[in-house]
Amino acid sequence: MKPIEWAVNTMPKTDDRHLPVMSPEEIKRARSFHESFPQYKETPLTKLPHMADHLGLGEIYIKDESYRFGLNAFKVLGGSYAMAKYVAKQTKKEVSDLPYQVLTSQALKEEFGQATFFTATDGNHGRGVAWAARQLGQKAVVFMPKGTTLNRFNNIKAEGADVTIEESNYDECVRMAADAASKVKNGVVVQDTAWDGYEEIPAWIMQGYGTMVMEADEQLKEYGCERPTHVFVQAGVGSLAGAVIGYFKNRYPVNPPICVVVEADVAACLYEGAKAGDGNIRIVDGDMQTIMAGLACGEPNTISWDILKNHTDTFISAPDWAAAQGMRMLAAPIKGDTPVTSGESGAAPFGVLASIMKDDSCQALREHLGLNKDSKVLLFSTEGDTDPDRYKAIVWEGKDR
């Protein structure tokens, strides 16, 4: 069984110029936008007291995004907000002037015109972009990497998008989407990874993710938890991780939580960067076949990387078995705790946390992070059973792939 590997962050710090992307003011704007949707409802923050006791922790909280907008994943928060910000910019308006009712109106469509939103995805992001495009009366074109399951393909197709599965990995599909958009009138790339020259829309996507984090922060206080001591968050390109960690650093500048980033081992570009220790981006290439499809990304978001190398304590490379373990433990927790239906990418951080607390080989990491009976740990289950067949195979049949 492949081990969990980790790298404590010793990278040189930067001037933090990207941290204001996740300022409280920006996140409040994104939250207000999402609250205007008729489908909006806070997703649950589930407390697992018995599981916490079993693992030797004080408190465990799981933000359950399987309830988000009926789409079974959090990604729609980023894509929808970025698209609204783009429309606002093109029509010379503020996004606060474009709540759902206005944004989806015929009058605004006539003013804005017709655009085609291009993206690459393993499933959840593309479904969110396709859904938002349909709400806006716009077009969406989605490129999916090889290894994509038919269920995820069909979910996007059902939203009216033009979608294909390519014989390429995720990062190559990103380049395909950008190239295709450049050849179409009013073609717009809506991607949650950033590169030199493409940073505005990814920043908007990160701000959209901030709605989820702000909700969780407020819900913690309803439980009587003033702030988490530790935050575990998964990463593909790092946009979500940068959004979560950037939010908490802005929110608690003096005493932020200890933050841990978890990646799929076959695509652990952030971990490789942290292991090198020089602060430079590392790229992972190849097929990147993993059950954690949402994390199978080998090229970091440049905005997020800047935030992560300044404010992440530890980067972890996780094998598939850790994600599968997390899925099973959340689906059938200790008696008295509320079960959480968590998909492969959503459950990976919890599976890693459980191993850190129970596996003797992780003792050094457990001690470094200071995880103990006083710890209050927050995690984000970013997806539910987005591929029901695979979910059942892992949780019911005990498979790890």
Closest CA to 231 of 213, 250, 258: 258
The SS3 assignment for 212 reads: helix
Q: Crossing angle of helices 150-157/388-395, nearest 10°?
A: 150
DSSP annotation of 378:
E
Catalytic position from the list 64, 122, 313, 320: 122
Which residues partner with 231 through β-bridges? 259, 378
**Which H or E element spans position 59?**
strand 59-64
Catalytic, 75? Answer yes
The SS3 assignment for 327 reads: helix
DSSP for 106-128, written as a single string: HHHHHHH---EEEEE-SSHHHHH
The residue whose two tokens read 């001037």 is 15
State the SS3 of 306-318.
Answer: HHHHHHCCEEEEE
Q: Residue 133 and residue 80: Cα distance in Å, rounded?
A: 8
Q: Residue 42 and residue 40: Cα distance in Å, rounded?
A: 7
* Angle of CA points 386, 155, 68, to nearest 5°: 55
**Which H or E element spans position 263?**
strand 258-264
DSSP for 153-194, written as a single string: HHHHHTTT-EEEE-SS-HHHHHHHHHHHHHTSTTEEE--S--
Catalytic, 122? Answer yes
**Which H or E element spans position 233?**
strand 230-234
Return the structure tokens found at 399: 């498979």
151 and 132 Cβ atoms separated by less than 8 Å: no
Helix boundaries (H) for 183-319: 200-222, 239-251, 269-276, 302-311
DSSP annotation of 238:
S
Catalytic position from the list 63, 75, 85, 139: 75
Closest CA to 291 of 125, 149, 191: 149
Q: Residue 386 and residue 392: Cα distance in Å, rounded?
A: 11
Catalytic residue annotation: 75, 122
